[in-house]
Amino acid sequence: MSNIPSPEAVRSLLRNRSSIFPAMYTDEPVDDAIIQDMLENANWAPNHKKTEPWRFKVIKGNARNRLAEVLSSTYKSITSTESFSEKKFNKLSKIPMRAGAIIAICMQRDPNESLPEWEELAAVSMAVQNMWLTATSYGLGGYWSSPGLIKHLGEFLGLEEGERCLGLFYLAHHNAPEIPRERGAIEEKVEWLND
């Protein structure tokens, strides 16, 4: 099994994955072949009963303008005058254009409900982790955004019966400095039951 990466390589990839936000994005286009590789790797996520519930919608080019318009206009239409923030409205209008691509993360619920919904949500999350680690291996940055507005994207995304959007994965080349990663000690989160 010589094509299996070393534990050190896996450890490095896992510990270097990070959320990279639009302020650090560059204008360099993201190659479709990289996105295809990310999606292919996402497709290899484990899931119970092999329902493969993950679905992805890749938003590039002018479709980013349309997403920005849907997000900002929806925010304006559903937000009361008292709660409306011009800053948030402008942010929603601009962020999709900063990304090289946006991947809508969707889940197609098993129509037979042969397993609990949480297991399908977990499977989609594992698919996103595969996708995210692949992006990291290419030196790309991104983050998973799940604003309340995603529940209003059904028509824009052309969601099927039983399909729902769980968030938007923003993806881009970036100029982020090395970001220190921190986690609490694993010993505080694990109990070994040996007897």
Query: 147, 165 in Cβ contact below 8 A?
Result: no
> Can you name the residues that pair with 164 across neighbouring β-strands?
107
Q: Which residues pair with 59 in a beta bridge?
A: 102
In this structure, which amino acid lies at residue 49?
K
Distance of CA 39 to the CA centre of its chain: 11
Residue 169, beta-bridge partner list:
103, 144
Per-residue pLDDT tens listing for the chain (195 residues): 678 999 999 999 999 999 999 999 999 999 999 999 999 999 999 999 999 999 999 999 999 999 999 999 999 999 999 999 999 999 999 999 999 999 999 999 999 999 999 999 999 999 999 999 999 999 999 999 999 999 999 999 999 999 999 999 999 999 999 878 899 999 999 999 998
Give the 3-state secondary structure of residue 97. helix
R_g (Cα) of the chain, nearest Å: 19
CB distance 117 to 109 below 8 Å:
yes
The crossing angle, in degrees rounded to 10, of helices 117-137 and 32-42 is 140
Tokens of 64: 């980013």
Give all strands of the β-sheet with 163-172 in edge-to-edge order. Answer: 54-59, 101-108, 163-172, 141-145
Sign of CA pseudo-dihedral 92, 107, 157, 60:
positive
Domain parsing of the chain, residue ranges? 21-60+99-175
The DSSP symbol for 28 reads: P
pLDDT in the model for residue 1: 61
State the pLDDT at residue 2.
72
Any bridge partners for residue 172, and if so which? 141
At position 194, the amino acid (one-letter code) is: N
pTM comes to 0.94
State both tokens at 148.
Answer: 């309340």
Q: Which CATH number fits domain 21-60+99-175: 3.40.718.10, 3.90.228.20, 3.40.109.10, 1.10.3720.10?
A: 3.40.109.10
The answer to whether 22 and 95 are in contact (CB under 8 A) is: yes
Which pLDDT belongs to residue 133? 98
Pairing of strands 54-59, 163-172: unpaired
